């Protein structure tokens, strides 16, 4: 599913998936990083429906 431009504009942008995941950890939320098909950068989301979720190594 393509990211809507209005959603992309409201979200924080990160240069790497690691940066996006670190921001999620710092907030205390369970978030997943994904590459945006609009801006090419990474965003965070809490949605996991139909997505592969990596096992937590920690």
Tell me, yes or no, whether 50 lies in a domain. no
Q: What are 5-27's pLDDT values in tens digits?
A: 888 999 999 999 999 999 888 88
Domain of 25 in residue numbering reads as 5-45
Is 39 part of a structural domain of the chain?
A: yes
**Residue 26 located in a structural domain:** yes
pLDDT digits (tens, 9 = 90+) for 19-49: 999 988 888 888 889 999 999 999 998 877 6
Cα 50 from Cα 58, distance rounded (Å): 23
* Structure confidence at residue 53 as a pLDDT band (50, 70, 90): low
pTM, 2 dp: 0.70
Instruction: Establish if 51 belongs to a structural domain.
Output: no
Task: Provide CB contacts within 8 A for 14, sequence distance 6+.
Answer: 20, 23, 33, 41, 42, 43, 44
Q: Is 13 inside a domain boundary?
A: yes
Count: domains in the chain: 1
CA distance linking residue 40 with residue 46, whole number of Å:
19
Query: Is the predicted pLDDT of residue 52 greater than 80, yes or no?
Result: no
Written as six digits, the tokens of 55 are 């096992």
């Amino acid at each position: 599913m393509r990211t809507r431009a209005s959603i992309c504009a409201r979200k924080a942008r990160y240069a790497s998936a690691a940066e996006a995941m670190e921001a999620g950890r710092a907030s205390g939320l369970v978030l997943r990083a994904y590459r945006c098909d609009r801006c090419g950068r990474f965003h965070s989301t809490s949605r996991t429906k139909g997505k592969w979720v990596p096992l937590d190594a920690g």
